[in-house]
Structure 1
Amino acid sequence: MIRLAVLGRAAALATLVSGLALSAGAQAQEVSASHLQAARDTINAIEATRQFDNILPNLAERLKAEFILSSPNFQDKISETVDAEAIALASRRADLEKEAAAAYAKAFTEDELKAIAAFHSSPAGKKFLSTLPLVQRELGRAAEIWANGISRDLTSQSTAKLRDVVAVPPSQPSGAEAVNQAPQQ
C-alpha cells in the first residue's frame, strides 16, 4: 500500500513537471504582433498564398457543375445560389492568411522575415519571383536530359563490365547444379 502511494506521488510529480515544461514550450512559441506583421509582409512580398487564390472559385465551379448535372433545369438558380454562398465565404480567406503568418513566424525570426521581405520587395527580388517559374521549367528540362544521359551511361557501363560475369543466362543451371540433377527419362 505504501509502495502505491509513493508511486502515485512520483507519477503526480512527473505529471506536474511535464506540464510545466509543456507550458514553458508553449510560451516560447508565442509570437509578438511585430513578428506576425513581419510574417505577413513576407507572405505578401513572396506571394506565398497566391497559389491558393483559386481554391474557392474552383470549388464553387465544381459544385455548380455537380448540381447542374443532377438538376439541369435549375442552372440559373444553382449558379446564382452557389456564387452568392462563395462570395459570403470569401472573408474566410483571412483565416488562411493568419495560419500562413503563424507558420512563417514559427519558421523564421522576425529579423529573418524582414530581410526576406526586403529582398523580395526589391527590384532583384521582384525579378526573382517573376522569372522563377521559367527558371524552374528550364531546370526541370535540364535535369531530365541529365538523368537520361546518366541512365544511358550507367546502363552501358554496367552492362559492359558485367558482360563476362553474367555470361550464363539465368535459366541455365551452374556447373554444380547441373551435376547434381538427375537425368530425366
Structure 2
Amino acid sequence: MIRNASRLAATAAALFMLASPVFAQEPSASHLALAREVAVNSGMTRSFDAMTEPLLAQLQQMNVTRPEIKQDLEQVVAILRPEVEQHKQKMVDNAARAFAARMTEAELKEVAAFYNTPAGKKYVEVQPLLLDDIVRDLATWTQNVSEYIMIRARAEMGKRGHQLN
C-alpha cells in the first residue's frame, strides 16, 4: 500500500511537471508590449497583411464579372476592412505571446532597441528582398547538393563493392 502511494505521488509529480508550462505565469503587460513591438518592428506582421489584402482584393474583383454590384462590393469591403484588421490584431497578439513565451523582457528590450536603430530599420526594409534571393538560391543549392550526395554515395558504395543506380 505504501508502495502504491509512493507510485501515485511520483506519477502526480511527473504529471504536474509535464503540465507546468500550462500553469506558467502570464507575462506582464510590459513584457507583452515589448514582444508586440518586436513582432511589429521586425516586419513579421507584414505577412498578415500579405494574407488578408489579397482576400479583400479578390472580393472586389468580383465586380469584373458583375459590374452591377461594384458599388455594393466596395461598401462591403469598406465594412469588412476594420473587422479584418481586428482579426489581424489577434494574430499580432498571438505573435507577441509567442515571443514573450520564448524571450525574457530584457532580451526583448535589446531586440526592440536594435529594430529602432538605422541598421535595424534597414534590415526590416531589405528582409523581403533577402528572403526572395535566398528562396531562389535555395532551389539551385538543393539540386546541386542532391546531385553531390548521390555522386559521393555512389563513389563510396563503389569502394565497398556495391553499385547504386
TM-score (norm 1): 0.60
Offset, 1:57: 3.2
1:130 aligned to 105, 125, 129, which one?
Answer: 125
Residues 55-106 of structure 1 deviation map (CA, whole Å, 9 limit, x = unaligned)? 443222333445875xx26322432342232134145133222222112111
Per-residue CA distance 1:103-143 (angstroms, 9 max, x = gap): 21112111111111111221222222223333344444444
- Distance change (3 Å), C-alpha of 1:76 and 1:109: same
* Contact 1:57-1:86 within 8 A present in 2 as well: no
Which residue of the other structure, out of 118, 126, 138, is the alignment partner of 2:113?
118
Q: Which residue of 2 aligns with 1:44?
A: 40
Greater displacement, 76-85 / 137-146: 137-146
**Cα pair distance change 1:137/1:58, threshold 3 Å:** closer
1:79–1:33 CA distance, 2 compared to 1 (3 A) = same
**Cα gap change, 1:138 to 1:63, in 2 (>3 Å):** closer
Unaligned 5+ runs, structure 1: 1-6, 8-12, 168-185
Q: How many residues align?
A: 158
2:26 aligns with 30
- Residue of structure 1 aligned with 2:100, choices 75, 96, 105: 105
- The separation in 2 between residues aligned to 1:40 and 1:21, in whole angstroms, is 29
Q: Partner residue of 2:78?
A: 84
1:96 aligns with 2:91: yes
Q: What do the CA deviations read for 1:9-49 (whole angstroms, capped 9, x no partner)?
A: xxxx99x9799778864442311011011112212220221
TM-score, structure 2 normalization: 0.66
State the alpha-carbon separation in 1 of the partners of residues 125 and 20 from structure 2.
42
Q: Is the 8 A contact 2:38 2:112 kept in 1?
A: yes
Q: Identical aligned pairs, as a percentage? A: 28
The aligned residue for residue 74 of structure 1 is 68
Which of the two has higher C-alpha Rg?
Answer: 1
Deviates more, 1:116-125 or 1:85-94: 85-94
Change (3 A) 1:90 1:151: closer
Q: How far, CA to CA, are the matches of 1:20 and 1:84 in structure 2?
A: 49
Q: Give unmatched runs, 5+ long, in structure 2.
A: none
Change (3 A) 1:79 1:24: same
Question: Structure 1 74/115 Cα, relative in aligned 2: closer, same or farther at 3 Å?
Answer: same
Q: Which moved more, 1:132-141 or 1:79-88?
A: 132-141
Q: Indicate if the aligned counterparts of 2:31 and 2:100 stay in contact, CA closer than 8 A.
A: yes
